[in-house]
Structures are given as C-alpha cells and as structure tokens.
Structure 1
Amino acid sequence: MKVLDFTPPVPKEDSVVVDEDILPNFYNYYHRHKQLQITMIIRGEGTLMAGNYSQAFKPGDIYILGANQPHIFKSDPSHFANPDKINAHAIHIYFDQDRIPVEFFSLPEMESISSFLNTTQNGFQLPSEHVNYVGKIINRLTTRSNLERLLTLINLFDYFSKEVRGWKSLDSGLSNNYFPEGEGVRMNEVFQYTLEHYAENITLNKIAEIAHITPHAFCKYFKKHTRKTYNSFLNEIRISEACKKIINSNHDGISTIAYSTGFNSATNFNRVFRKTTGMSPRDYIREYKSKGNLYSN
C-alpha cells in the first residue's frame, strides 16, 4: 500500500496536538507521520491496518500507533453510501517526541515512561477495562491549553507504563513496516482491492493482475513484504469482517457470516476463525454476549 507522509494540521511549535475528526468516513489513505498517535474511536467501524497487521475497529476502541508506523482506519463500505451522514468520529492525539529534549527522558523520574515509549513502535490496543478512565482524559484534552496537554499526556504515559497490563499488540511479527515509494503504490492497489472485494472469490491470477505482475512473482513479492501469504492476509481481513458482524449482531447465523465474508463453507470458516482468533465463532459470540456487548437473540 502506498504510504503517504501525513502532517497533522497543527502549529509547528506544538509537541502535543489534539485533532477531533467528525466526518462521513475516516481518512482513506494508508499513511504515516513522525508523531506517535493515540486514537479513540467514538463513532464508526471498519478495518484497522497497521503495518501488515489488520483487525476490526469499533466505537470505544483506543489505539496507540508508533511514530512512522504506516496505518489506515478503513471505514466500513456502508459509510461511503451516504456522504452527507456523519459516520466517523474520533479523537486523535499526536505526540512529537523529537521536540522534547533527550535529557528530559533521561531523568530518573521518566524511566518507566521512556521504557514504555520504546515499546510502541508497532502499536497497541488499550485493554477494555481501562477504556472508560482513559477515554475521559482524552476527551478533556480537547479543551486543554498547549502546556496542559503536554503535562496531561505525560501523566497518561505514566499511567500506561505502570497501571496497564495485557496490551494487545498490533505487531504481526514484521518489525520494519516501511515500503519504498514504488513498492508502496503496488501494495496500495493490492490492499485497497482486497478490502473492497474480500467477500468475492479473489483468485491468485486476479490479485496478481491488480499488482501488474505474474502470479508466481506476486507470491514471492507479497511474502517478501509482509512475511505471510496473500491467502493468509485475505483470511485475516475476512475474519476481521466476520467479527464486526458478530459484534453488531448483523447476522442470521454462523453459516450466513461464513458465506457473506467470502468463505465457501461453514467448516472452512470455523477452522480459519479458530486459527485467527484462538476460539470458535460460537465461543466468540458467547464471550461478547457475556460482556454485554451483544443483545440476546
């Protein structure tokens, strides 16, 4: 995917910027920026891609994305059907660590924060039990002055480093997620096509045609840049969409979910779902119902 260099709409002198998006859909380009990003999803759903990792996102999710980590919050296709409707609402915090003197993070009082920041390269999702507390702080940041934002964010990093355990990593095992400009254009076409046509029968010949190379060359190319096969990536996107349907109770049964997300049988769907999520679809449904995230049938 083409990685655009994105500059947050902020004054050059600010080290912490808070940007609130209230739009028909989220920013629709795979991009990166030098600032660490914290994002809280308030409205909207879709697929988060960070590096070569992907998963569904939904309201209430809070993510940390590392500096220069390529990413996109790809809105659900339904969000594009009515461009006049507000489908996407999120608060983004951008932190430019390069604007803070190195000596500051070398202070003994900053040891735990520095250690935490050094682990954010590939991104995290905040565990659900911390969402309410952190969400209130993020909301307050929208009304704070420049200095107050910096001090509040440092306190938040301190909380992350000392109180939060069980972070969900957004790392798929590929440590360097940088795509050169030429390769990025090709990956952009492959990823965008997959996100838009995942429910269809995407053959190797078809996706290789999208990439403008031969099927054999495509297999080697995709594996080189993502360390996974294209079929594995496609299945991850399909399971991500299936999880969204489960969370939203947007289904009439497991077989319906299987066929609507591109699987040719419920058996194959169950196998891939368990391999990807670590549990069966029925166990996944029960888990969300037990947490009160789903309505009973």
Structure 2
Amino acid sequence: MKVLQFTIPVPLDKSIIVQKDVLPFFYPHLHRHQEIQMSWIQQGEGTLVADNNMHAFRPNDIFWLGANQPHIFKSEASYFQPKSRKKIVALVIFFNPNGELASLFNLPETKLLKNFIMQSQSGFKVPPAYTAEVSSKMMQITNSSGTDQLLQFVDLLKQLSGYADMTPLATAQKSQMVSEHEGIRIGNIYNYIMQNYDKPITLEDAAKQAHMTPQAFCRFFKKHTLHTFVSFLNEVRINEACKKLTDGAFDNIATVAYTCGFNSITNFNRVFKTVTTQSPSEYMTSYFQSV
C-alpha cells in the first residue's frame, strides 16, 4: 500500500538511530519508511495497525516493524481530548539494512542475522516472556555509542533471532498498491472507525467519510484492506475489549461489551471468539497466566 512516506532524519555519523518519544499521542497517520523500526512502548495504550492487521498495545510491549511496512500506532481516543494530560513514552530504534549497514549484513559471519531480517518483513511482537531481556538490551544500545553501540545492536539481533515463537504482525498476503491519495483516504477511514468504535457505526457513516456511495465504498475498502467494513470494525472493537478486559477497570464482561459498541452480550461473545479463537473468560485466563 502506498501511504505517507516518512523520512527518518539520519545523522551523518550514525547507522543506528535511537529516538525517545515523549508526546501527547503517537504520530496519527498511516505511514511507512525504509528503516526497520523497533518500538518499546513505555507509556501509552491503543491499537497498532500493521499492514491490514490490528494489535492492541499497552506499556511494556515491544514491536518490530519491517522496512516499508505501512503502520500506525493509534492512541486511544482519550489522548485526543482537549484537556487530556496523558502522554506517550516510547523508545524507538531505526536501522536500514540496505543502507550504511548493508556491508555488515553481507558478511558471511552475519548470514543468519540477514536471514532473520528477511524473514521478519511482516514484523512481530516480542513475546512477554522476552520483553525484560529485550528492553534491557535496547537500553544498553541507547546508553552506548560508537563501536560499543554497534556491538550491542548486533547482540540484540542475535538475541532476537534465537527466539522460536515470534508471531508475524501481518499475514503474508498483501493488499494491492494504491495511490498516495487513496492511502490517505484509507488512513482517514481507520481514524474515524477507531475514534467512534464505541458508538453505532453504519456502512453509510463510513462511506460518507470517504465521500463514496456505500456500494463503491465496500469494493474500495475490501480491495485495499482485505477486510470487509464489518470485519474491520469488529476487530477494532475486540482489540479494545481485550485491553479493557485485562486492565482491571471494568467490573464484568458485559460492561466491557457494551462500552465497546456491542448491543448484546451474545453477539459480543460470538464475535470475540471469531476474532481471538477464545471466549472472553478464556482470553483473560490466558493473558494473566502469561503475564
């Protein structure tokens, strides 16, 4: 998908860019860049859209995003309220394996690391069991420079390549390339749905945001996102429900269902299992056992 092409400022004396973000909310537009990105979410919550797949994020999650992989870390709606005092904090590492580092990855000694990078083009989330050691290594990279930083970076890649249970953020199937204008339009639709998921949203409502008829909107959305409007809306709602079920802010599952836009607990349970393959109670049990 051709979306906003973001240019990462690269210092002349750096091949690895380390960035600490402290902002009211994450960059709000669907975008991509040549660099691979590792993001450690230290503060903030919301939904990550990577290619055409959605993943809830919360503090202490770590994500790897492939080169030129369209993505947006969409902060929860509360971060955009006029009087909000919330902020996001993230430690981000960028590197371009085809840029200044290309010669490093062409060495026979780093063949396994190059293979790992090539196999991770769809991105992944670091499993909770490994976040402590990965975040520690990211801090070591942040606090070093020169040759030491490069060695720490290589060590991080070696560590990541040794993990066996990395689940891709996106499926192998890709949506068709679209123009930048269409990419912006899709990003606007994503934003509209994510900001209004807790309210009744009809196909006609979404079509109006794209300035299209409902029939044309259905064809456009399915062609370029591989989702129907309803399946995308359901995934957004279930992602939000997963966060609410595990943050301890709600008394029961029914309350979560209604605050995420579902009008019946039966429908919520059915959709939840379709999206996650688990019932809400099974999901909670699995989550707290892993944490």
TM-score, normalization: structure 2? 0.93
Report if the CA contact (8 A) 1:122-1:175 is conserved: no
Moved more, 229-238 or 73-82: 73-82
Amino acid paired to 2:166: W
Q: Residue 168 of structure 1: SS of its match in structure 2?
A: coil
Q: 1:207: which partner in 2?
A: 206
Cα shift at 1:2: 8.1
Structure 1 position 4 matched with structure 2 position 32: no
What is the root-mean-square deviation in Å for CA atoms of aligned residues? 1.9
Report if the CA contact (8 A) 2:2-2:177 is conserved: no
Q: 1:40: which partner in 2?
A: 40
Cα shift at 1:199: 1.1
Q: 1:277: which partner in 2?
A: 276
Report if the CA contact (8 A) 1:52-1:174 is conserved: no
- In structure 2, the gaps of 5 or more residues are none
Report if the CA contact (8 A) 2:197-2:261 is conserved: yes
Q: Residue 38 of structure 2: SS of its match in structure 1?
A: strand
Q: 2:73: which partner in 1?
A: 73
Q: 1:58: which partner in 2?
A: 58
Structure 1 position 160 matched with structure 2 position 174: no
Q: 2:173: which partner in 1?
A: 174
Spell out the pairing of 1:73-92 with structure 2 (5 A cutoff): 73-81=73-81, 85-92=85-92
Cα shift at 1:145: 1.0
Find the aligned partners of 2:241 and 2:84 in 1 and give their Cα distance: 27
Find the aligned partners of 1:221 and 1:84 in 2 and give their Cα distance: 35
Percent identical: 42
Find the aligned partners of 1:208 and 1:82 in 2 and give their Cα distance: 27
Cα shift at 1:79: 2.1
Spell out the pairing of 1:1-297 with structure 2 (5 A cutoff): 3-81=3-81, 85-100=85-100, 102-161=102-161, 163-175=162-174, 178-291=177-290, 293=291
Q: Residue 97 of structure 1: SS of its match in structure 2?
A: coil
- In structure 1, the gaps of 5 or more residues are none
Q: Residue 119 of structure 2: SS of its match in structure 1?
A: coil
Note closer, same or farther for the CA distance 1:172–1:260 as it changes in structure 2 (3 Å cut): farther
Find the aligned partners of 1:45 and 1:131 in 2 and give their Cα distance: 17
Amino acid paired to 1:104: L
Amino acid paired to 2:212: I
Cα shift at 1:177: 7.0
Amino acid paired to 1:195: M
Amino acid paired to 2:287: Y
Q: Residue 270 of structure 1: SS of its match in structure 2?
A: helix
Deviations 1:143-163, CA, capped at 9 Å, x for gaps = 2114332221111111111x2
Q: Residue 165 of structure 1: SS of its match in structure 2?
A: coil
Find the aligned partners of 1:12 and 1:178 in 2 and give their Cα distance: 32
Note closer, same or farther for the CA distance 1:186–1:84 as it changes in structure 2 (3 Å cut): closer
